[in-house]
Amino acid sequence: IWFHLSISALYARIYFCRACARMCGMHGQHACMPACTYVRILACLPRFNPRVTGQEPPARSGHSCARHGDLCIFFGGVKDDDYLNDVHVLDARNWNWFVPHTTGTPPSARAYHAAVVCHASPAEGGGPCMLVIGGDTASSVEADVHRLDLETWEWRKGMGS
């Protein structure tokens, strides 16, 4: 059994935003535990389960989590051998999940990719964006880059416009 955690530090806390255990059987079968959202203070205080509202994403593994301000932005992953390319956001100010309405062409469904929040170049407005890089699809290993504008929620392929 191994655990995959998406972790983001906010205000001297670690938010274990999603936890999923994958149990590998004789034939590569796996099952994901139900999703749980919880917080543990760095000073090793007891765990607490905040009252979370909104549309919580299904349990998965191989997803990414990138932090932008108080937002934990989740992308993709795999659930029961189905690769995903959805976006779910947890607002840590009010513990509310939401699914942003995205435009443009999203990356293909993938897992085990990287994601990072950065700022676009000044020529492109300089706003915050999330880059999704590489990953495994159901049939291949990708080395592409996709950019999600975090103000307009528009997907674009590549680093530039």
pLDDT digits (tens, 9 = 90+) for 45-71: 566 678 889 988 999 999 999 999 999
pLDDT at 14: 38
Rounded CA separation 158/96 (Å): 30
pLDDT at 160: 60
Say if residue 8's pLDDT is above 70.
Answer: no
Angle formed at CA 127 by CA 108 and CA 155, multiple of 5 degrees: 15
Tell me the helix, strand and coil percentages in the chain, rounded to 5: 0, 55, 45
3-state secondary structure at position 106: coil
pLDDT at 124: 74
What tokens were used for 70? 């108080």
Three-state helix/strand/coil letters over 127-141: CEEEEEEEEECCCCE
Q: Contact 154/102 with Cβ under 8 angstroms?
A: yes
47, containing H or E segment: none
Spell out the residues 6+ positions from residue 2 whose beta carbon is closer than 8 angstroms to its own.
21, 22
Q: Contact 43/55 with Cβ under 8 angstroms?
A: no
Rounded CA separation 145/103 (Å): 17
3-state secondary structure at position 123: helix
pLDDT tier at 1 (50, 70, 90 boundaries)?
very low
Tens of pLDDT, residue by residue over 113-149, are: 999 999 877 777 778 999 999 999 999 999 999 999 9
Residue scoring higher pLDDT (121 or 104): 104
Residue scoring higher pLDDT (19 or 104): 104
Say if residue 80's pLDDT is above 50.
Answer: yes
What tokens were used for 74? 């989740």
